[in-house]
Amino acid sequence: MSTAAVAQVSPALDRFSLSVGAFDAKPTVNAAVNTPYGTLGSGDLEGGRVTMPRISADFLIGDNHGLSLDYYRFKRDYGTGFANSFAVGPLGNVTALGSVNLQTKLEFGKVAYKYWIGSGNTVLGLGAGIAYYRASLNSSAVAGINGATATFSQEDSDDAIAPLLEVGVRHAITPDLRLFADLSGVRKGGSKLHGHIYNAAAGVEWFPVRNVGVVLSYGVTEIDLRHDFGTAGTANGQLKVKLHGPSAYVKARF
């Protein structure tokens, strides 16, 4: 008589889980916006902390095949004082006067497949998928041009779809206390909106009750996107954002 071996799902994984929470990050933003008078550059801007809502879900198909979804949004406004002057070709130098405003916004979502290697307390996941992102830069200013005063206000927005690669590690100290680390990257070229987005996070999950727990982690996100503005891409705009800080989630598993 032979006994068929039955594969066991790692205690570090769930059949289905849904996490809802927020990323409390300290951002550094550097933006360049094409204007009728030239490219207005912000330089590195550091402000107070910003809270970003975030939602993610994970599905386990069989014992080793996973599907994950993730979404977050970053939005921040910057007012007068981030720029002094910028070059405008034959017009010479343009000086920002009084009112200068810049609104930055980024939306990011992903769907990824991941294969989990192992069935014990520690598993390694290798994945690939598709990311969608939309970047917006809204700007307005009062500027002095060779002694004259001019105003401008414009909105620049675009979106793109790009391939994504990710790797993850999960370790179950017990079925209700687990550690994790994740790293993912998006890189896009050859379109109007191109660049890269990298995410890294590490943390702990604790389930005081069987199906509901809390997740605490620390993460770093680096965003560097370039957009070809203007006719035939004659000028470039850029949005660079660095985020780092803790996250807290409520997680339901089944």
Residue 217: which of 226, 225, 199, 205 has the closest Cα? Answer: 205
- What is the reported pLDDT for 149? 72
- How far does Cα 206 stand from its chain's mean position? 25
Lowest mean pLDDT among 85-94, 131-140, 162-171, 185-194: 85-94
pLDDT of residue 39: 66
pLDDT, tens digit, for every residue of 224-237? 988 764 444 444 67
Tell me if the domain spanning 16-253 has CATH number 2.40.128.90: yes
Counting beta carbons within 10 angstroms of the beta carbon of residue 97, is it exposed (0 to 12), middle (13 to 18) or buried (19 or more)? middle
For residue 208 the two structure tokens come to: 């005081």
Check residue 81 and give its pLDDT. Answer: 54
pTM of the model: 0.82
Is the confidence at residue 47, as pLDDT, over 50?
A: yes
pLDDT band with cut points at 50, 70 and 90 for residue 38 = low
**How many Å apart are CA 76 and CA 81, to the nearest integer?**
15
